[in-house]
């Protein structure tokens, strides 16, 4: 319970689905803690045209499951409001997306541990260049696995809530980055340099490619954008270096990575690219309000 309660006009506009998204989100956060305001919102929804439809849906659900006894049931407003008794950590993990809850974090950990084992137990000195060549596109795979109807059976419903749209995309992207960035950077620090850039040199390129994938995804969908951006990087950097002639393949790869990642000019270019992609993503934010682009 809080000391502040929603004014009547705010409740009415929310029930009519006429409240701006930031205000609706703020009110819904308040409803999670204030039973009095939640009751008033439910009553306001009952008086709208949607109230009769939602009442019919509720009746049909209860009739289909007579064994369930629901006490103090509340009608759902047009914007989905889910007051939950689940622990906060569980709600955070749900919002983070299927990739973070599924096998993807284990796959990233396996890549990091495999690189370290290959370098130290297998005696392979060219592991860091290989890791740096793959690391920038790893977050892209996580984002593609986390967002979209293919990954989340509740995608259409969640997209219709104030917490959906670009907010949901960025939440899941942040969760993916929080898993992949520290694991792969730490693994790079444990590997022999082998003439490759520093272990953290891939961070800005990784952020730029992820931002580019999201921006392009506003046009063609996250999976297609991920395939295009990741494929472009892999063809332009590791594939080009490994297909060249002269010297050991990993030495050529390390040299190519140094040109792309090392030094202030290269890092500045990646930072500028990331900034431009983020600006485009913000300009295209409305496209995510209707779900993933096909």
According to the model, what pLDDT value does residue 203 have? 95
Q: Are the C-beta atoms of 45 and 54 separated by less than 8 Å? A: yes
Rounded-to-10 torsion of CA 222, 286, 176, 191: 70
Q: Are the C-beta atoms of 130 and 250 separated by less than 8 Å? A: yes
| Alpha helices (H) in 65-165, listed in sequence order | 88-96, 98-101, 104-120, 127-134, 138-146, 155-159
According to the model, what pLDDT value does residue 234 have? 92
According to the model, what pLDDT value does residue 50 have? 72
Query: Which has the closest alpha carbon to 130: 148, 118, 144, 143?
Result: 118
According to the model, what pLDDT value does residue 75 have? 43
Q: Are the C-beta atoms of 288 and 171 separated by less than 8 Å? A: no
Strand locations in the chain, DSSP E? none
According to the model, what pLDDT value does residue 243 have? 81
pLDDT means per 10 residues, the chain with 294 residues, are 78 84 80 83 80 74 57 44 47 61 82 89 86 93 80 63 75 89 93 88 95 93 92 91 79 90 94 96 84 57
Q: Are the C-beta atoms of 293 and 218 separated by less than 8 Å? A: yes
According to the model, what pLDDT value does residue 72 have? 43
What 3-state DSSP class applies to 152? Answer: coil
Q: Please, is 246 exposed, middle or buried when counting C-beta atoms within 10 Å of its C-beta (0-12, 13-18, 19+)?
A: exposed
Q: Are the C-beta atoms of 31 and 41 separated by less than 8 Å? A: yes
What 3-state DSSP class applies to 263? Answer: coil
The CA distance from 202 to 204, in Å, is: 6
The CA distance from 257 to 254, in Å, is: 5
Q: Are the C-beta atoms of 115 and 52 separated by less than 8 Å? A: no
Strand locations in 82-148, DSSP E? none
Domain locations along the chain? 1-83, 88-290
């Amino acid at each position: 319970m809080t000391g502040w309660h929603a004014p009547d006009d705010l409740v009415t506009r929310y029930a009519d689905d006429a409240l701006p998204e930031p205000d609706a989100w703020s009110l819904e956060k308040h409803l999670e803690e204030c039973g009095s305001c939640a009751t008033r919102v439910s009553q306001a929804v009952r008086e709208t045209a949607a109230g009769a439809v939602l009442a019919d849906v509720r009746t049909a659900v209860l009739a289909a499951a007579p064994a369930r006894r629901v006490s103090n049931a509340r009608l759902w407003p047009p914007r989905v409001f889910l007051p939950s008794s689940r622990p906060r950590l569980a709600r955070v993990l749900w919002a983070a997306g299927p990739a973070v809850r599924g096998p993807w974090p284990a796959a990233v950990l396996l890549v990091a541990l495999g690189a370290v084992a290959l370098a130290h137990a297998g005696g392979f000195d060219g592991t860091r260049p290989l890791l740096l060549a793959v690391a920038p596109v790893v977050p892209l795979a996580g984002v593609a696995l986390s967002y979209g109807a293919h990954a989340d059976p509740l995608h259409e419903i969640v997209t219709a809530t104030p917490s959906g749209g670009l907010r949901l995309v960025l939440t899941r992207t942040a969760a993916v980055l929080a898993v992949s960035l520290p694991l792969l950077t730490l693994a790079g620090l444990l590997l022999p340099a082998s003439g490759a850039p520093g272990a953290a040199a891939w961070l800005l390129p990784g952020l730029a490619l992820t931002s580019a994938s999201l921006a392009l995804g506003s046009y063609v969908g996250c999976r297609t954008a991920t395939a295009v951006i990741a494929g472009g990087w892999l063809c332009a950097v590791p594939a080009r270096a490994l297909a060249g002639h002269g010297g050991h393949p990993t030495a050529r790869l390390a040299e190519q990575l140094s040109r792309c990642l090392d030094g202030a000019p290269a890092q500045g270019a990646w930072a500028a690219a990331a900034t431009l992609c983020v600006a485009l993503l913000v300009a295209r934010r409305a496209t995510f309000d209707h779900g993933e682009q096909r």
